[in-house]
Amino acid sequence: MVTLALYRLITLLAAPFVALALLMRGDGVETVGHRLGLVPGKARGTLWFHAASVGEFRALKPLILMDWGRDVVVTVQSRQGLAVARRELPPHFTVLPAPLDAPFVVSTFAARMKPAALVLVESELWPGWMATLKHRRVPVVLLDGALSATSARRWRRLRGLAQVIGGGLAQVTTSSSAKKQALDAVGFGPATLALPLKLAGNALPVDAALQTQWAEWRGCAPLVILANAHRSEIDALKGVLETADPAAKIIIAPRYPAQISAFEQVFGAADERLAYWTSFGTLGSLFALGGTVVIGGGFDAKIGSHNPLEALRAGCAVVRGPHPGKQADVIALLEQQGMMVPAPAWPTGGPDIGTLDRLANTALKQACSAIDSVL
């Protein structure tokens, strides 16, 4: 059995090599120092939010921006997520790369940050963090907790480490009975049912230059956007477009830049009725053009649907594929509210923003209640 002591020994021995690898990939001395816990000091009582990457950061963003009456620090695991957080948060926020899960690193980070609580989202659970924070009597809140079947099996095998994590969790929320059962079964509970935090997400930022560049496409009717589309979905998406209005203009935004050529081979080169969105990382500007968005990912069972809320928040009508994946809870709720439809159906209008706002407010209140209970 992997015990906490063995885990700490492994991470302690690995830390110097991880730091060297980060330097070699060009992260810079300051960034690597932050990864090792060498961060600016804070006044006691800091509220610490942590996200794995872009999606998790944007789920937490409405909470981060609230007035907590104390310093707020945000850590992000991925480089892309870190860049997005630094770009989208006001400059007075402290945004740092996440510390490594090694004993001296976490203790140094915690001693300098002096957190009153740590807020996590979904499944970003690190045994070293949890053990150190429990020792320092810092409560941890897990919002939108979720475990895949693979993760649940792994934690059952690593029971000793699972007990460390479960013992450090002060509050856990999740969005379905099935997720609650999975969390409770491995000791990450008892979880409380709440609306998905993603419902509270804000509209994505819009780039004014891109809006000018694409002005002739904005508001053109009908307009169909294939967003976050994967190469493996091309045949299915081709079938969906065959049922669209024959007069529709189409914009295709592949999930990955390298896959554009695969779409061109099937759908053809760009012309007055077909365009390819090549400004990656700017979906807010794409959705601001309006129209109906066909959300990618959901036409491949191995991938699962990407987040539909970003398009809905921009006022777009939304069509999704047959495989909701990790978005199943959100999609089921939105379809109950008449916010989106499964292909091959086509929506007759955009979303009810008032209903979206009410759902968002409820999700925020539930998350705030979980955090407030430990402060």
**Average pLDDT, whole number, for the chain?**
93
Distance CA 139, CA 167 (A): 10
Crossing angle, helix 127-135 and helix 159-168, to 10 degrees? 50
Under CATH, what is the fold of the domain 208-353?
A: Rossmann fold (3.40.50)
pLDDT in tens, 208-231: 899 889 988 987 779 999 999 999
Tell me: the pLDDT tens digits for 104-158? 999 999 999 999 999 999 999 999 999 999 999 999 999 999 998 899 999 999 9
Whether 289 contacts 225, CB under 8 Å = yes
- Residue 346 phi, psi dihedral angles, 5° rounding: -125, 130
- For the chain, the domains span 4-194, 208-353
Residues 6+ away with beta carbon under 8 Å from 40: 94, 112
Please state the rounded mean pLDDT for residues 307-313. 94
DSSP label of 327: G
Determine whether domain 4-194 maps to CATH 3.40.50.11720: yes
Indicate if the pLDDT at residue 102 is higher than 90. yes
Secondary structure (H, E, C), 63-128: HHCCCCCCCEEEEECCHHHHHHHHHHCCCCCEEEECCCCCHHHHHHHHHHHCEEEEEEECCCCCHH
User: d(Cα 169, Cα 187) in Å, to the nearest integer?
Assistant: 10
Domains 4-194 and 208-353 equal at CATH topology level: yes
**Residue 250 DSSP SS3:** strand
CA distance 205 to 190: 36
Q: Which residue has the tokens 């081979």?
A: 265
Strand order in the sheet with 223-229: 274-276, 249-254, 223-229, 292-295, 317-320, 341-342
Query: Are 113 and 92 spatial neighbours (Cβ–Cβ below 8 Å)?
Result: no
